[in-house]
A = this chain, B = another copy of it.
Amino acid sequence: MNPTFTTPQDAEDAYYDALEEGDLPGLLAVWDDSDDISCLLPMQALAQGRAAVTEAFAQLLGHGRGIELSVTHLHWIETHDVAIHLVEETAQNTVPGGPPPLPVYATNIYRKDSRGWHLIVHQNTPPPPPPGLTPPRGG
């Protein structure tokens, strides 16, 4: 019953739409239905395999709200059955009046098989601190 994504971009669009809508089943349908998957959400331990990835996103969406990210493509590398998309994710639903959110790097890797394209790796990496801003230090 899972949707068939005919391009890596179809899968990526479905991923960020499902995140925004807080749609856990929709999000999990983008992930490859195998244990050959890995996910590194910001400042979390590696989630490896279907059960761990499901648990990581259940927690992420557990507050009942979606996560709206604007996504900028930085670099695409594609072979005939693997697509690597490096993007910047910037949170949109932030505190009014608060500081603008820093973009976070993400790499999304998709693999194609007879069922179409599905996500096999998602990895977030924090950006460096902005120039002139030192990171917080213990006092």
Contacts and interface: CB of A to CB of B under 8 A. Distances in A.
Nearest to A107: B123
Contact of A44 (B79, B121, B128): B128
Q: What is the count of identical protomers in the complex?
A: 2
Interface in A114-139: 120-121, 123-129, 136-139
A93 to B, nearest CB: 23
A84 interface: yes
Contact of A77 (B36, B43, B105, B126): B36
Contact of A46 (B74, B82, B124, B137): B74
A2 to B, nearest CB: 20
B45 A128 contact: yes
A128 B74 CA distance: 25
Interface of A: 36, 38, 40, 43-46, 48, 74-75, 77, 79, 81-82, 84, 86, 105, 107, 109, 111, 120-121, 123-129, 136-139
14 contacts: A38-B75, A45-B127, A45-B128, A46-B74, A48-B74, A48-B75, A77-B109, A77-B120, A77-B121, A86-B121, A123-B123, A123-B125, A136-B136, A139-B139
